[in-house]
């Protein structure tokens, strides 16, 4: 069985491109009991933590992406 390539690693800079903005640093990655990957982002300006699905976040700089 081939392991899935992870989209993020701890320490990556990310942002939420749709809806409210959430520029952040990835501080944790885990798998739910049903096998879904979750990403915990720490917001850059106030340290708030938020749990996201992988598809809700993009890397800073990936294909020219930047928050805002």
The pTM for the full model equals: 0.82
Euclidean distance between CA atoms 60 and 1, whole angstroms? 31
Whether residue 33 lies inside any domain: the answer is yes
Whether residue 32 lies inside any domain: the answer is yes
CATH of the domain at 24: 2.30.30
Whether residue 34 lies inside any domain: the answer is yes
How many folded domains does the chain comprise? 1
Q: How far is CA 17 from CA 35, 49, 54, in A?
A: 24, 17, 12
Whether residue 4 lies inside any domain: the answer is no
Q: Residue 22, Cβ neighbours under 10 Å: how many?
A: 19
> What range defines the domain where residue 28 resides?
13-59
Chain segment 23-35, per-residue pLDDT in tens: 999 999 999 999 9
38 and 31 in contact (C-beta within 8 Å)? yes
Chain segment 16-63, per-residue pLDDT in tens: 999 999 999 999 999 999 999 999 999 999 999 999 999 999 998 655
Whether residue 20 lies inside any domain: the answer is yes
């Amino acid at each position: 069985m081939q392991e899935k390539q992870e989209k993020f690693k701890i320490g990556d800079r990310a942002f939420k491109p749709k809806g409210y903005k959430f520029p952040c640093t990835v501080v944790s990655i885990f798998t739910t009991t049903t096998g879904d990957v979750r990403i915990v982002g720490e917001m850059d300006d106030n340290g708030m933590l938020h749990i996201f699905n992988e598809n809700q976040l993009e890397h800073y700089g990936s294909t020219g992406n930047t928050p805002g």
